[in-house]
Structure 1
Amino acid sequence: MLAIVGLITILLVLASIMTKRLSTMSALIAIPVLACLFLGQGSELGKYILAGIKNVAPTGAMFIFAVLFFTILGDAGVFERIVNKIVGIVGSNPVKVCIGTYAITMFAHLDGSGAATFLIVIPAMLPIYEKLNMDRRVLATIVALGAGTMNMLPWGGPTLRAATSLDIPVMELFNPMLIPQAAGIICGLAIAAFFGMKESRRLGASLAQVSVAPTELSEDEKALRRPKLFWFNLVLIIATVVVMVEGILPPVGCFMVALVIMLLVNYPDVKLQGKLIDAHAKEALMMASVLFAAGIFTGIMKGSGMIDAMASGLVAIMPDSLAPHFATIIGVISMPASLLFDPDSFYFAVLPVLAQAANAVGLAGVDLGRAAIVGEMTLGFPLSPLTPATFLLIGLTGIDLGEHQKHTFLWAWLVSLVILFVAIIIGAIPL
């Protein structure tokens, strides 16, 4: 019963968001609340909601201060100068822009943090896409593919979870997947180039009319620019990211401190500080509300036992005759499974049981672990409503979850299948 209700809940949330019958925030709150009441767990609803909110509170707070930090730096002209420099190099060539976006994302995701990657790449690249009138969904898709493929790294969350749950050395799990991961990177690069060519055709002659010269500023915009503080602000951005990546301060603390320093140096006038914060607060709070709604959704799904029940149900319905092919099956469904299972539930509940069943027919647990990291919360994490980083991605690019999933899902699945195919070819995963 729990598994069925859980599956229906997730499908209804995804369907209502993608068809725009409900807003993302409404769907993430209303549908799981109704499911919880239907299960007769209304008395526990408050506890589930609080647990979910506590889980995402650091990310939600970080998002608010990060958005204020980056948007006010935009007012100061930091990104404008960087963008003008990049546009001067690539010109009005969407292919170069898309390939560059993918390459930057891969390097930014070397730390394995989706939130940090999105906070580094999107504020830097979005103004370029806007200047060339390119589709924001393309930016979100390319960043999702780059971050998702790189999330297979040995220090990435999914790979570490898989190795831990199967009690095997992480490098034993990962090393044979190096070539398949490289194939996935090449596939993602080809997709980025394809999107660039598609945007070139769509924009056509209008690209020739795009001026790569700096945009003429209004008097109000000029008044907010701080060209003499460019290098200070750039060093502040780099220092903030380094402190966050190194774990010296929690992410929310990094952006709180960075925001205060940036305001005091660039805009010491208290009234002007308040005016700038007011100007950007709406955007920050709107997206933070979606993040907290996602926390409520996850809190209810976990607390009510629906996710655990779905994990057990998946194991139970797998016929024994399919056991010899468990690795391939898991590899095929791993990316879409990210929409149903959070990483802890899949890697610590589903995977060990499947590995035990597969052992009976001669498959090693490590085979299933490699198949799982092909897509489960690797290429799937930037699309899943169960990960706060997804909402950070769509919030920064300014698109809704349904648009992002429709635009990205098949491409992410394609890359995961390419990785799986190459892994089977070289013998890293048995057919």
Structure 2
Amino acid sequence: MNLAILGFIMIIVFMALIMTRKMSALIALIVIPTIFALIGGFYSGLGKYMLDGIETVAPTGIMLTFAILYFGVMIDAGLFEPVINQIIKVVKGDPVKITIGTVILASMVALDGDGTTTFIITVTAMMPLYKKIGMSLYTLSTLALLSIGVMNMLPWGGPTARAISALQVSTEDVFIPLVPVMAAGILFALIVAFILGKRARKTLSYQSDIELEDVKKDETKEESLLKRPKMIIPNAILTISLIVCLVLEVLPIPVLFMVWFGVALLINYPNLSIQNSVVKKHAGNVLSVISLVFASGIFTGVMDGTKMVDEMANTLVHIIPDAMGSHFAIITAVLSGPFTYFMANDPFYYGVLPILAESAHQFGVSKIDMAKASVLGQPLHVLSPLYAAGYLLVGMLDIEYGQNQRVVIKWAIGSSLFMILVACILGIIPW
């Protein structure tokens, strides 16, 4: 069977199973690629492909493990209490204010370009409010994903840097024109927040008198004992220094989180038994997220090792007719969503984009325009089963992965198409 066809069928089967809840994401990520690799006749190399994939995601797994533990310590110690308290005072019990506040908070936190910290801080601050008034946690997930889907386009967020380096163009030429497009993406997220907030307001009783004490009623005795109000300033300095080091790439990201976690645990909880209890408290969250990350390594390894992903990319590139050549930028913008959904960013930006850009050059479309177009599918990319931080979000909210895909995907597609439309209208990418 043609590898491209086999790959497309595999993606469709995978999505259908998790979105219809016929199979959990964890099992589907392992079983589905294994079955399709066997169908394709890749018996001998299957084990190697899987191990290669697991090795690829191992640094991400380590990073997420210690990121969860680090921010778990910060949450337990009460670092984010002032932020949470201020949010509660401003939004009270109004669902519209809560949803709009979610987008604003997530967008601000996402300025560091990292989905992990964005989700941890946003969920920590907003989930108590959502639970208190009975709002759907899928709404919180939707708004957090829409926000990071736009902010991921920052040069230090990853995709833009990859596009720039792959096509050897300047950051200024690519990123500066994208700023109004990103603003449009955040505007779209705010519109979605307003819509979802209005829906929630209709179905829930508007509790305008919610106070801080109401939200804190659910706090357990153990959680109260772990609070360290005197450590807020030292913890804030520690967290800011971590973010600065992440941006400056002082050390590999997994190592940074490991070292900062060790320091955070030591200064907040010097007692060994308390340290052990804190780690055990967050062990379940770590396991649920990391198991999905390593399972996604199986998926990635099979896709890469069997060359399915290469054949799928080549098929899509070659079916673009010559008559559409002058529209290569907008075609790339539209394709960047599904492309970066079923493959990681690296294969798309370093493998597929140069091919598209070379073809586009023959029709007078510049590399700069292609680089700008290639990042407009990021709202869909952050829903990808290969986007590790997405598992963290689902795990923290304790929601179902397939259901989350079904709820968010229409808004993610809408966000990407809205940014593409704005980019075309403003002449940022050529029609």
- Provide the TM-score with structure 1 as the length reference: 0.90
Question: Residue 381 of structure 1 contacts residue 390 of structure 1 at CA under 8 Å; is this kept in 2?
Answer: no
In the TM superposition, what are the counterparts of 1:416-431 in structure 2 within 5 Å?
416-431=416-431
Q: 1:373 to 1:226 in 2, by over 3 A?
A: closer
C-alpha distance in 2 between matches for 1:174 and 1:92: 38
Structure 1, 334-343 or 4-13: larger mean CA deviation: 334-343
* SS of equivalent residue, structure 1 residue 380: helix
**Partner of residue 400, structure 1:** 400
C-alpha distance in 2 between matches for 1:2 and 1:421: 34
Deviations 1:35-55 (A, max 9, x none): 222222222122212221122
C-alpha distance in 1 between matches for 2:248 and 2:229: 29
User: What are the ranges of 5 or more consecutive residues in structure 2 without an aligned counterpart?
Assistant: none
Question: Residue 161 of structure 1 contacts residue 347 of structure 1 at CA under 8 Å; is this kept in 2?
Answer: yes
In the TM superposition, what are the counterparts of 1:19-418 in structure 2 within 5 Å?
19-80=20-81, 82-205=83-206, 207-208=207-208, 210-213=210-213, 215-216=216-217, 217-375=219-377, 378-418=378-418
User: What are the ranges of 5 or more consecutive residues in structure 1 without an aligned counterpart?
Assistant: none
Q: State the 1:176 CA deviation.
A: 3.2
Deviations 1:180-228 (A, max 9, x none): 33222222222222222222222224x2474432524554444333334
* SS of equivalent residue, structure 1 residue 242: helix
C-alpha distance in 2 between matches for 1:21 and 1:59: 28
Question: Residue 149 of structure 2 contacts residue 382 of structure 2 at CA under 8 Å; is this kept in 1?
Answer: yes
Q: State the 1:314 CA deviation.
A: 0.9
Structure 1, 131-140 or 67-76: larger mean CA deviation: 67-76
Q: Which runs of 4+ in 1 moved over 6 A?
A: none
Q: 1:63 to 1:168 in 2, by over 3 A?
A: closer
Deviations 1:352-386 (A, max 9, x none): 223333333333343333222211xx222310112
C-alpha distance in 1 between matches for 2:364 and 2:250: 45
Q: State the 1:122 CA deviation.
A: 2.8
Q: 1:266 to 1:355 in 2, by over 3 A?
A: closer
C-alpha distance in 2 between matches for 1:221 and 1:164: 46
Number of equivalent positions:
428
Q: 1:426 to 1:258 in 2, by over 3 A?
A: closer
Structure 1, 20-29 or 264-273: larger mean CA deviation: 264-273
Supply the AA of the counterpart residue of 1:370: K
Question: Residue 92 of structure 1 contacts residue 212 of structure 1 at CA under 8 Å; is this kept in 2?
Answer: no
Q: 1:235 to 1:97 in 2, by over 3 A?
A: farther
Q: State the 1:394 CA deviation.
A: 2.3
Deviations 1:92-133 (A, max 9, x none): 122222222222222222232333333343333333333333
C-alpha distance in 1 between matches for 2:58 and 2:398: 21
Q: 1:243 to 1:359 in 2, by over 3 A?
A: closer
Q: State the 1:298 CA deviation.
A: 0.8
> C-alpha root-mean-square deviation of aligned residues, in Å?
2.5
Q: 1:301 to 1:361 in 2, by over 3 A?
A: same
Supply the AA of the counterpart residue of 1:236: L
C-alpha distance in 1 between matches for 2:171 and 2:267: 45
Question: Residue 95 of structure 1 contacts residue 195 of structure 1 at CA under 8 Å; is this kept in 2?
Answer: yes
Question: Residue 2 of structure 1 contacts residue 306 of structure 1 at CA under 8 Å; is this kept in 2?
Answer: yes
Question: Residue 83 of structure 1 contacts residue 127 of structure 1 at CA under 8 Å; is this kept in 2?
Answer: no
Q: 1:204 to 1:160 in 2, by over 3 A?
A: same
C-alpha distance in 2 between matches for 1:104 and 1:330: 31
* SS of equivalent residue, structure 1 residue 338: helix
* SS of equivalent residue, structure 1 residue 42: coil
Structure 1, 223-232 or 17-26: larger mean CA deviation: 223-232
Q: 1:261 to 1:314 in 2, by over 3 A?
A: same
Supply the AA of the counterpart residue of 1:38: I
Deviations 1:120-159 (A, max 9, x none): 4333333333333322211221121111112223444222
Supply the AA of the counterpart residue of 1:410: K
C-alpha distance in 2 between matches for 1:75 and 1:369: 42
Q: 1:93 to 1:249 in 2, by over 3 A?
A: farther
C-alpha distance in 1 between matches for 2:414 and 2:290: 31
Question: Residue 6 of structure 2 contacts residue 308 of structure 2 at CA under 8 Å; is this kept in 1?
Answer: yes
Question: Residue 145 of structure 2 contacts residue 382 of structure 2 at CA under 8 Å; is this kept in 1?
Answer: yes
Q: 1:69 to 1:348 in 2, by over 3 A?
A: closer
Q: 1:357 to 1:5 in 2, by over 3 A?
A: same
C-alpha distance in 2 between matches for 1:244 and 1:153: 14
Q: 1:369 to 1:313 in 2, by over 3 A?
A: same
Question: Residue 76 of structure 2 contacts residue 226 of structure 2 at CA under 8 Å; is this kept in 1?
Answer: yes
Question: Residue 92 of structure 2 contacts residue 210 of structure 2 at CA under 8 Å; is this kept in 1?
Answer: no
Q: 1:244 to 1:398 in 2, by over 3 A?
A: farther
C-alpha distance in 2 between matches for 1:228 and 1:367: 51
Question: Residue 116 of structure 1 contacts residue 245 of structure 1 at CA under 8 Å; is this kept in 2?
Answer: no
Deviations 1:274-311 (A, max 9, x none): 23322331221122101110112112111211111111
Supply the AA of the counterpart residue of 2:192: I
